[in-house]
Amino acid sequence: MSEEETINQDEPKGKSRMRRRADAIKAFRCRHLVAVIEAPSDPVNIAAIIRNVNALGVEKVYIVDPGRHIPDDWEEFRARRSMNKLSVSASKWSYVKRFDSTDECFDHLESRGYASIVTSPHVKGKKSIFLHEGDYTTASKLAVWFGNESRGISDRAVERSGMCVAIPMFGMIESMNLGTSSGIILYEVARQRREYQSRFRKRGGRGERAEPLPTTMAVVQN
Ligand SMILES: C[S@@+](CC[C@H](N)C(=O)[O-])C[C@H]1O[C@@H](n2cnc3c(N)ncnc32)[C@H](O)[C@@H]1O
């Protein structure tokens, strides 16, 4: 990272600084990229994913919540001190929507033209790949599904999605933690899509820009 890529931020904290930051990150957000958490049981993981989603410029979080752990009113949930604290206030800045079932969420996504991929440490469904083998820019709208902490992704989600993505595992344990795996997978998916957006205005390699847009932001120096 070069000197020019850092900003010395001796600015007052407050609304205007937040506003400027919100304006600056807009161009880096991955349009039409949704992270879906299927039946999570631990609020710590929900908060971790929301934090990753916010940090990586993913557009939205959908939560399939058959157990009705999350209130319909997201405003109420995100205002909870515990959620705010766990996500270091990322929940304040993120769009989150809940669904009663996996099918309801797929119906919603498909009616809006989204393709889905699921994630699992195991080989699942019609097509299974390792994370580094994938091209995540081919669908104009993409949803990336993460499974429950103990059961993993459901058979129904596998059935309704195009492929399954795995982070290669080299240890004695079977899987990674849900929050951690979301960070690794969304980083790669968002990185590829941001790069694509920087080069092309449209899908299918159409509308190439004369100069690619930047894909990284200046780092704030504390
Ligand atoms: C703790 S894991 C679930 C483990 C569960 N026993 C299973 O069979 O999948 C929770 C979720 O994190 C994600 N995950 C964990 N490790 C992963 C890996 N190596 N590759 C891809 N996704 C992973 C998947 O979305 C998974 O459903």
User: What digits encode the pLDDT tens for the residues 125-159?
Assistant: 989 999 999 999 999 999 999 999 999 999 999 99
> How many angstroms separate the alpha carbon of residue 43 from the centre of ligand 1?
17
For residue 157, being part of any structural domain is answered with: yes
Question: Which residue's CA is minimally distant from atom 12 of ligand 1?
Answer: 178
> How many angstroms separate the alpha carbon of residue 170 from the centre of ligand 1?
14
For residue 151, being part of any structural domain is answered with: yes
> How many angstroms separate the alpha carbon of residue 83 from the centre of ligand 1?
23
The pLDDT score that the predictor gives to residue 130 is 98
The pLDDT score that the predictor gives to residue 15 is 63
Could you tell me the CATH number of the domain that includes residue 43?
Answer: 3.40.1280.10
Residue 76, domain extent: 3-199
- For ligand 1, whether the C-beta of 153 sits within 6 Å is yes
The pLDDT score that the predictor gives to residue 88 is 67
Question: Which residue's CA is minimally distant from atom 1 of ligand 1?
Answer: 149
Question: Which residue's CA is minimally distant from atom 8 of ligand 1?
Answer: 152
- Those residues of the chain that have pLDDT short of 50 are 1-10
Phi, psi of 173 (to 5 degrees): -90, 160
Question: Which residue's CA is minimally distant from atom 2 of ligand 1?
Answer: 149
For residue 82, being part of any structural domain is answered with: yes
The pLDDT score that the predictor gives to residue 12 is 52
> How many angstroms separate the alpha carbon of residue 150 from the centre of ligand 1?
8
Contacts of 84 (CB under 8 A, 6+ apart): 78, 91, 92
Q: How far apart are the first and last CA of the chain?
A: 15
CB 201 within 8 A of CB 207: yes
- DSSP secondary structure string for all residues of 195-218: HHHHHBSSSTT-SB-SSPPPSS-P
For residue 190, being part of any structural domain is answered with: yes
User: What is d(CA 164, CA 86) in angstroms, rounded to the nearest whole number?
Assistant: 29
Question: Which residue's CA is minimally distant from atom 24 of ligand 1?
Answer: 120
For residue 38, being part of any structural domain is answered with: yes
User: What is d(CA 219, CA 222) in angstroms, rounded to the nearest whole number?
Assistant: 9
Which of 118, 178, 180, 189 has most ligand 1 atoms within 8 Å of CB, for mutation?
178
For residue 204, being part of any structural domain is answered with: no
For residue 158, being part of any structural domain is answered with: yes
* Structure confidence by residue, pLDDT tens digits, 106-119: 999 999 999 999 99
Of the candidates 167, 125, 120, 114, the one whose C-alpha atom is nearest the C-alpha of residue 146 is 120
For residue 208, being part of any structural domain is answered with: no
Token pair in block for residue 75: 């405003």
Number of domains in the chain: 1
The pLDDT score that the predictor gives to residue 63 is 96
